[in-house]
């Protein structure tokens, strides 16, 4: 299953790979998933989302997309790679804004910040072949969210975004694959095949995120994607561990543990990653 399968119906040419740094093949181990925590009280997803109006910075058209109401979701836990888990909703589904008119799509954090030269590249490589988005009523499905995330991935490559933006888009798409995988039950058609494909896509995206953040760490300034240097250091350490690059992971963990400004909270999280490395090596 291609990470960009399905974009053809929008008129977008098929993209074969996500280039965050340089094209290379790297083997990585299977990502271990955590079970979704059970909510205390069920909340209707429809009640905590709303339609927000946006103006596209590419084509100036006005459109609406769904987003989560501020203060209406409760954080339950966080995965070791910083993926948030909220009660009764996967917030990641709503973190891409996609213009239905020209095909420009990006994570909400980056949607408005695009250079004229980048806009030109999007118009030439995305908009000219774009045939429109599917219409969806009510909460986003995982399949719809994956489609607009794929569109966002195509856009970050086309507009030659910074390594950090490419990496963060890959990371969040990996989280979305994980969320869909966890939402499925064994009675669904082609369950095992779909789970395998989602896990393979997640592994590939996590590896791209690791490569991209490593690249950004040496070339870009902080804060990065809304994260300070210690948070990105921790994230790269965990992405390195998941990629099986234990020496690099240990190197980034050491930066945190020897830091004079790191809080005990992030040092404890780094120690937990160190313990996971020891377990992985057994």
Give me the pLDDT at residue 52, please. Answer: 96
Give me the pLDDT at residue 43, please. Answer: 80
Give me the pLDDT at residue 260, please. Answer: 96
Give me the pLDDT at residue 20, please. Answer: 67
Counting Cβ atoms within 10 Å, is residue 251 exposed (0-12), middle (13-18) or buried (19+)?
middle
Give me the pLDDT at residue 95, please. Answer: 98
- Where do the structural domains in the chain lie, given as residue ranges? 35-221, 228-282
| pLDDT mean values, one per 10 residues, the chain (282 residues) | 59 61 40 49 87 97 95 94 96 98 97 97 95 90 96 96 98 98 91 96 97 96 97 98 97 97 97 95 82
Q: How many residues does the chain have?
A: 282
Cβ–Cβ < 8 Å for 176, 142: yes
Give me the pLDDT at residue 31, please. Answer: 41
Give me the pLDDT at residue 12, please. Answer: 60
Among 48, 50, 137, 51, which residue's Cα sits nearest to residue 89? 48
Give me the pLDDT at residue 281, please. Answer: 85
| 220-243 residues labelled b (16+ CB within 10 A) or e (exposed) | beeebbebebbbbbbbbbbbbbbb
Question: CA-based diameter of the chain, in Å?
Answer: 56
Cα–Cα distance between 232 and 209 in angstroms, integer? Answer: 12
Cβ-proximal residues to 94 (8 Å cutoff; 6+ apart), any chain: 49, 66, 67, 68, 140, 145
State both tokens at 49.
């989302």
Threshold 0.75, pTM exceeds: yes
């Amino acid at each position: 299953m291609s990470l960009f399968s399905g974009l053809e119906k929008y008129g977008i040419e098929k993209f074969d790979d996500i280039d965050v740094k340089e094209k290379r093949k790297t083997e990585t181990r299977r990502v271990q998933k955590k079970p979704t925590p059970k909510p205390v009280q069920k909340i209707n997803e429809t009640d905590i989302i709303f339609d927000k109006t946006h103006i596209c910075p590419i084509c100036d058209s006005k459109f609406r997309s769904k987003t989560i109401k501020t203060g209406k979701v409760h954080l339950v836990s966080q995965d070791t790679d910083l993926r948030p888990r909220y009660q009764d909703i996967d917030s990641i589904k709503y973190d891409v804004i996609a213009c239905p008119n020209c095909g420009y799509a990006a994570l909400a954090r980056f949607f408005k910040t695009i250079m004229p030269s980048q806009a030109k590249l999007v118009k030439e490589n995305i908009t000219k072949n774009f045939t429109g988005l599917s219409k969806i009523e009510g909460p986003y499905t995982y399949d719809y969210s994956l489609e607009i995330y794929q569109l966002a991935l195509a856009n970050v490559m086309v507009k030659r975004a910074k390594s950090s933006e490419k990496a963060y888009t890959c990371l969040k798409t990996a989280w979305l694959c994980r969320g869909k995988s966890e939402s499925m039950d064994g009675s669904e058609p082609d369950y095992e095949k779909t789970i395998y494909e989602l896990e393979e896509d997640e592994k590939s995206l996590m590896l791209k995120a690791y490569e991209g953040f490593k690249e950004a760490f040496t070339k870009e300034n902080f804060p990065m994607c809304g994260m300070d240097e210690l948070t990105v250091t921790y994230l790269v350490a965990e992405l390195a561990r998941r990629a099986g690059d234990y020496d690099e992971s240990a190197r980034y963990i050491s930066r945190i543990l020897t830091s004079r400004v790191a809080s005990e909270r992030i040092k404890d999280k780094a120690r937990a990653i160190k313990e996971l490395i020891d377990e992985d090596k057994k």
